[in-house]
Amino acid sequence: MTWWRGLYSWMVPDARRRREPRGGAAETTPRADAASRREAAAAVETMLSYRFRDPCLLGQALVHRSHLHAYGDERIEANERLEFLGDAVLGLVTNAYLYLEYPDLEEGDLTRLKSKLVCGTSLARVAQRLELGDHILMSRGEAATGGRDRDSILADAVEAIIGAVYLDGGLAAAQGVIERWLFDHADDIIEHRALANDKSRLQEIVQARYRMPPRYRVLETTGPDHERVFTVEVLFGDRVLGVGRGANKKSAEQQAAGCALRQMAEKPSLLDEAPDHRP
């Protein structure tokens, strides 16, 4: 996924200049909570495996609007604008990842898969895994009412951090964070959120009836290295339910599952006739 890296890198210097006050950041008035913001930012930086050239960006990403109301300091900016930017960056990186990773999925399936990966619940789960809530600056009242565990606040903070990384290091840096935070766990999310595709539908049908999944087997691999074609069959017991071909094993498995679903629709007793379908 290198073809689009740096696509928007030309925007970063201008974006950084626009956000700095006249005369440079060093001339801004010291803030009462500067130490707490630096401490929170340092802890999150370790989780990110990314060191900011401009730590103020990360500090801003961790500021919830309730914190500003408590301090009454309108000069500090909350993380809402960074959240807006991070949402767009997250969408671009996720779309590119899904387009390349799942070449045989239709647009509708890609859209559904994206919604599982980047929905508020998934982003909040990322924040919970990193214990990000402990480092978000918010008012005592917000924290007392469960703000540090609230999905909306956690998801917004994740998007704001992505926006901050993008401004600080460009699209490649933001992609790295998103890959580590979300895509490393993409298979788990897809598996447990029941993406509406042929492979998951077939598994649901078979497991609901027999409490055991179908299995896939590669029959052959043909073609040159740059144009591989995989032929895969899906079996239940010893019965071949379907055969599929694709540019990789995942897409071939999808095709085989689709073939199996069509055959099962034409012959509902297909599973029952499998000679060895019992656990």
Distance of alpha carbon 228 from alpha carbon 258, whole angstroms: 21
pTM across the whole model: 0.60
| Domain-embedded: residue 276 | no
Cβ within 8 Å of residue 79, ≥6 positions away: 60, 61, 62, 63, 64, 65, 156, 157, 160
Mean pLDDT of 104-116: 79
| Domain-embedded: residue 139 | yes
Q: What is the CATH number of the domain that holds 222?
A: 3.30.160.20
Name the range with the highest mean pLDDT among 48-57, 83-92, 207-216, 267-276.
Answer: 83-92
Distance of alpha carbon 68 from alpha carbon 77, whole angstroms: 8
Which residue in 117, 161, 119, 118 sits closest to 136, CA to CA? 161
Same domain, 26 and 146: yes
Same domain, 188 and 231: no
Please say which residue of 168, 192, 216 terminates a domain. Answer: 192
CB 133 within 8 A of CB 59: no
Same domain, 162 and 248: no
Distance of alpha carbon 165 from alpha carbon 161, whole angstroms: 6
Burial (Cβ within 10 Å: 0-12, 13-18, ≥19) of residue 214: buried
| Domain-embedded: residue 277 | no
| Domain-embedded: residue 272 | no
The domain of 246 spans 198-266
Same domain, 188 and 202: no
Same domain, 127 and 239: no
Distance of alpha carbon 132 from alpha carbon 138, whole angstroms: 13
Please say which residue of 192, 218, 253 terminates a domain. Answer: 192
Same domain, 34 and 145: yes
Same domain, 40 and 138: yes
Same domain, 70 and 156: yes
User: What's the total number of domains in the chain?
Assistant: 2
Q: What is the CATH number of the domain that holds 100?
A: 1.10.1520.10
Cβ neighbours, 10 Å, residue 153:
22
Please say which residue of 192, 214, 242 terminates a domain. Answer: 192
| Domain-embedded: residue 279 | no
Comparison of pLDDT for 184 and 99, the residue scoring more? 99
CA angle 221, 226, 229 (to 5 degrees): 25
| Domain-embedded: residue 6 | no
Which residue in 29, 11, 4, 59 sits closest to 170, CA to CA? 11
Percent of the chain with pLDDT over 90: 33
Looking at residue 26, what DSSP letter applies? G
The strands making up 239-246's β-sheet, listed across from edge to edge, are: 215-222, 229-236, 239-246
Q: pLDDT (tens digit, 9 = 90+) per residue, 131-179? A: 899 889 898 899 999 999 999 999 999 999 999 999 999 999 999 999 8
Same domain, 134 and 50: yes
Q: Which residues are catalytic?
A: 87, 159
| Domain-embedded: residue 5 | no
Mean pLDDT of 241-256: 88
| Strand ranges inside the chain, DSSP E | 215-222, 229-236, 239-246
Name the range with the highest mean pLDDT among 119-123, 152-156, 209-213.
Answer: 152-156
Same domain, 110 and 182: yes
Same domain, 113 and 183: yes
| Domain-embedded: residue 51 | yes
Same domain, 208 and 113: no
